[in-house]
């Protein structure tokens, strides 16, 4: 099932894609796609709905963040072998964990607004994992049972703030609009193997990132289990699981985002994103 939220920022309503790709309004049945609606029982109830009986939504409607009330936004750094190589760093022995401010969350096609004076804003396509049930000290074998579904994430990073302002990842990754996710939450039953998904990011039409989640150093089940050893993962939590090679800072010469750039992101089975870049001074 593909679940989404549509409408103006702050006024989104729940929806689902039907078999033909039409957007069907769920708001008569579901108040909103909040964390409690991500439990296995409620997802099964949603899957039983005859979407053809629900009203269609205009296909041009804005798509928002697929889950309301997200409480934790977690990232994994340096989790693709080729990205580690282009960064000139050794493969990590354990996942490198950081958080992003939940205020960075934005819709999949919303504009990216660079912070004032930014000359080092960078792109990072990532597989997003959305937690469906509380995970605390879970094993790798049980970890994926706690996943409600998957989505595309763009873990945008302002490299100067990240690397030269006392080196904290959180600083460079938490600007408003630096966390587009969506367009949909694709439920886990439709993604039998999260380690077999093609990813692609284009900048102004040219491919800069092209990879597969099989290149992850730490797979999704390991990440969920690992995080749950030292923090409680809550329904609705979003984990972006690392980016493959081809980010701007890894190019020769480095290439960073500028006003007017267009990013297009795609992950097999999870849809697409398109974002226009705006320099804040010109917005």
Scored b (16 or more CB within 10 A) or e, 82-93 reads ebbebeeeeeee
Q: How far apart are CA 244 and CA 250, in angstroms?
A: 11
Q: How far apart are CA 23 and CA 32, in angstroms?
A: 15
Q: How far apart are CA 145 and CA 279, in angstroms?
A: 41
74 bridge partner residues = 99, 239
Pairing state of beta strands 125-131 and 147-154?
A: antiparallel
**pLDDT tens digits for the chain (283 residues)?**
999 999 999 999 999 999 999 999 999 999 999 999 999 999 999 999 999 999 999 999 999 999 999 999 999 999 999 888 877 888 999 999 999 999 999 999 999 999 999 999 999 999 999 999 999 999 999 999 999 999 999 999 999 988 888 877 889 999 999 999 999 999 999 999 999 999 999 999 999 999 999 999 999 999 999 999 999 999 999 999 999 999 999 999 999 999 999 999 999 999 999 999 999 764 4
Which of these, 160, 65, 68, lies nearest to 115 by C-alpha position?
160
Tokens for 170, please give them.
């959180």
What residue ranges define each of the domains in the chain, with the CATH number in brackets?
A: 68-282 (3.90.850.10)
Which of these, 27, 101, 99, lies nearest to 61 by C-alpha position?
27
Place of tokens 């190019």: 251
- In sign, the C-alpha dihedral spanning 256, 223, 272, 38 is negative
Give the pTM.
Answer: 0.96
CA 234 vs. chain centroid, Å, equals 16
Write down the pLDDT at residue 87: 76
Q: How far apart are CA 175 and CA 191, in angstroms?
A: 30
Write down the pLDDT at residue 97: 97
For residue 85, give the 3-state DSSP assignment: helix
Write down the pLDDT at residue 168: 77
């Amino acid at each position: 099932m593909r679940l989404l939220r549509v409408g103006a920022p702050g006024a989104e309503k729940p929806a689902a894609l039907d078999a033909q790709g039409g957007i069907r309004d769920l708001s008569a049945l579901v108040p909103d796609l909040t964390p409690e609606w991500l439990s296995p029982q409620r997802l099964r109830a949603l899957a039983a709905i005859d979407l053809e009986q629900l009203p269609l939504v205009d296909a041009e409607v804005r798509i928002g963040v697929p889950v309301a009330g997200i409480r934790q936004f977690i990232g994994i750094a340096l989790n693709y072998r080729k990205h580690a190589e282009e960064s000139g760093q050794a493969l990590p022995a354990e996942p490198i964990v950081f958080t992003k401010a939940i205020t960075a969350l934005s819709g999949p096609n919303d504009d990216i607004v660079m912070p004032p004076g930014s000359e080092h804003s960078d792109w990072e396509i990532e597989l997003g994992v959305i937690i469906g049930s509380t995970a605390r000290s879970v094993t790798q074998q049980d970890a994926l049972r706690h996943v409600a579904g998957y989505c595309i994430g763009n873990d945008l990073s302002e490299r100067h703030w990240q690397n030269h302002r006392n080196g904290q990842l959180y600083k460079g990754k938490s600007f408003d609009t630096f966390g587009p996710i969506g367009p949909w939450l694709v439920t886990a039953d439709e993604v039998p193997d999260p380690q077999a998904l093609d990813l692609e990011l284009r900048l102004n039409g040219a491919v800069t990132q092209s990879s597969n989640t099989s290149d992850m150093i730490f797979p999704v089940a390991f990440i969920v289990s690992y995080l749950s050893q030292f923090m409680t993962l809550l329904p609705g939590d979003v984990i972006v699981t690392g980016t493959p090679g081809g980010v701007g800072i890894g190019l020769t010469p480095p290439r960073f985002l500028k006003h007017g750039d267009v990013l297009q992101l795609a992950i097999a089975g999870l849809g697409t994103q398109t974002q226009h870049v705006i320099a804040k001074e010109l917005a």
